Amino acid sequence: MEKTILDEIFAATDNAWHWSFEHRNASDSMINGALGDLGGLITDMQEQQIKQMLNEAKASVQHSQEVVDKYETQVERFKVLTILDSSAMIFA
């Protein structure tokens, strides 16, 4: 009789430990999907930031070029004025 009781206890314990991991697989799939979505959002945000930085850099380059062009125009103007002044002094 004792053996029968022990066999029933072991059988009940053995049955309690048999389960599947389907619930775990489903939660893992959900977590992996969420992480994938998050990774996509981060990549999109980084791409937008890089594009914005590129646009700002292009605007800065354009502004710098405009400043250089204006400076070169002023230099040319002063060269002409200097030549005219020196010519006027020669003929005076």
Looking at the chain, the whole-number percentage of residues with pLDDT higher than 70 is 88
- Total domains present in the chain: 1
Question: Measured in whole angstroms, how far is the alpha carbon of residue 83 from the centre of its chain?
Answer: 55
Q: Is residue 8 one of the residues assigned to a domain?
A: no
pLDDT, tens digit, 9 for 90 and up, residues 43-84: 999 999 999 999 999 999 999 999 999 999 999 999 988 887
Tokens of 62: 């354009």
Q: Is residue 58 one of the residues assigned to a domain?
A: yes
Q: Is residue 34 one of the residues assigned to a domain?
A: yes
Phi then psi for residue 53, to 5 deg, are -65, -40
Q: Is residue 15 one of the residues assigned to a domain?
A: no
pLDDT, tens digit, 9 for 90 and up, residues 13-51: 666 555 667 778 888 999 999 999 999 999 999 999 999
Place of tokens 């999109």: 44
* Residue 35 domain boundaries: 21-91
What is the band of 8 on the pLDDT scale with cuts at 50, 70, 90? confident
Alpha helices in the chain (DSSP H): 2-16, 22-91
Q: Does the pTM of the predicted model rise above 0.75? A: no
